[in-house]
């Protein structure tokens, strides 16, 4: 399958959502198990060092903190007035930061589900799309290796560090709901961040963070006429790379994930078989978003009968 396998632990766990403290405690255990490193403790939260598993170790920092203490530490922060957990990405020296993403922890939801890898995190409510401050996603993508015959005559881009975030908003303009994000998202490259605020009047044509479904027309603009999905003759969807774009340029690929070229059942589990590095193994997955043209499928575990977690 067209997957950027990280070869690192993938942690899929439930998080309590009744209080910010419980959500943070559960998430802390998940992130440590996924290989995130504690940079420092905060009152009501943590700051983590996150590093890509690539040879070029792209890195960032991530803050997770309850809303009350976050407001004390950041008096100018523009948060919604309900109990929540704030998730925020920074560059390594913390001079540049993302949108203030909030997920509700005031009893509206019973629990969240999380999928965490070495350098990416997905949080959602089972069976619900991204509305109502119920989801978050962020991470450092896999970056193509710019070498070999494919780069002849080209000048490869210089990439020092990069990351993306979306969700944690009242609107469903994130990857839990659809493949394009045109509000409540951030993308960062080489010291420069672009943030789209929590505003449902922002144009979807602005080139914000998106995945790339296989489609026969431009569906990033909502004024376009709907078009049939691209599938095999049997009507089964194709499996394609989960490419990450912003500024209308390809920036990388999600780790341990892929896209289907048609809608699937939200949160429905499925086991696929793949062949990678000379080994045939099974892949446990779950659909993390589903709309007309695409389903984002997250890998939850890589395993093979009698062989253990071959990718780990």
- pLDDT tens track for 160-190: 999 999 999 888 889 998 888 888 999 999 9
Q: Residues 73, 78, 79, 81: is their CA dihedral positive or negative?
A: positive
Q: Per this entry, what is the length of the chain?
A: 312
pLDDT for residue 172 = 85
**C-alpha 76 chain-centroid distance:** 27
Residue 305 has pLDDT above 90, yes or no: no
How is 20-63 classified by DSSP, letter by letter?
A: HHHHHHHHHHHHHHTT-EEEEEETTEEEEEEE-SSSS--EEEEE
Closest CA to 63 of 47, 50, 39, 49: 47
How is 114-177 classified by DSSP, letter by letter?
A: EEE-SSEEEEE-TT--STTT--EEEEPPB-----SGGGTT--PPP-S-EEEEEE-SSS--STTT
Quote the CA–CA distance of 238 and 232 in Å, as a whole number.
7
End-to-end Cα distance, the chain:
17
pLDDT digits (tens, 9 = 90+) for 57-98: 899 999 999 999 999 999 999 999 999 999 999 999 999 999
**Number of alpha carbons in the 13 Å side-chain half-sphere of residue 5:** 16
pLDDT digits (tens, 9 = 90+) for 217-272: 555 555 555 556 666 566 677 888 999 999 888 899 999 999 998 888 899 999 98
């Amino acid at each position: 399958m067209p997957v950027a396998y990280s070869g690192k632990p993938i942690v899929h766990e439930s998080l309590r959502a009744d209080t910010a403290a419980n959500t943070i405690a559960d998430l802390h255990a998940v992130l440590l198990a996924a290989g995130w490193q504690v940079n420092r403790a905060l009152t009501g939260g943590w700051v983590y060092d996150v590093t890509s598993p690539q040879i070029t170790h792209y890195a960032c920092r991530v803050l997770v903190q309850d809303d009350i203490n976050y407001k004390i530490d950041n008096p100018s922060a523009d948060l919604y007035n309900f109990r929540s957990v704030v998730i925020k990405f920074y560059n390594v020296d913390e001079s540049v930061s993302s949108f203030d993403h909030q997920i509700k922890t005031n009893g509206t939801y019973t629990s969240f589900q999380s999928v965490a890898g070495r350098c990416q995190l997905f949080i959602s409510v089972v069976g619900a799309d991204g509305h109502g401050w119920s989801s978050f996603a962020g991470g450092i993508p896999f970056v193509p290796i710019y070498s070999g015959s494919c780069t002849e005559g080209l000048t490869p881009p210089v990439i020092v560090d990069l990351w993306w975030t979306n969700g944690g908003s009242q609107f469903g303009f994130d990857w839990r709901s659809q493949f394009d994000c045109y509000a409540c998202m951030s993308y960062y490259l080489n010291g420069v961040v672009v943030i789209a605020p929590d505003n449902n009047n922002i144009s979807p044509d602005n080139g914000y963070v998106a995945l790339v479904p296989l489609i026969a027309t431009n569906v990033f603009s909502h004024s376009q006429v709907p078009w049939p999905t691209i599938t095999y003759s049997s009507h089964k969807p194709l499996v394609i790379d989960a490419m990450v774009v912003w500024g209308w340029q390809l920036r990388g690929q999600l780790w341990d994930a892929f896209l289907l070229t048609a809608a699937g059942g939200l949160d429905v589990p499925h086991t696929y078989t793949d062949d990678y590095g000379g080994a045939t193994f099974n892949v446990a997955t779950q659909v993390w978003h589903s709309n007309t043209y695409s389903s984002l499928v997250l890998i939850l575990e890589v395993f093979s009968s009698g062989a253990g977690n071959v990718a780990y």
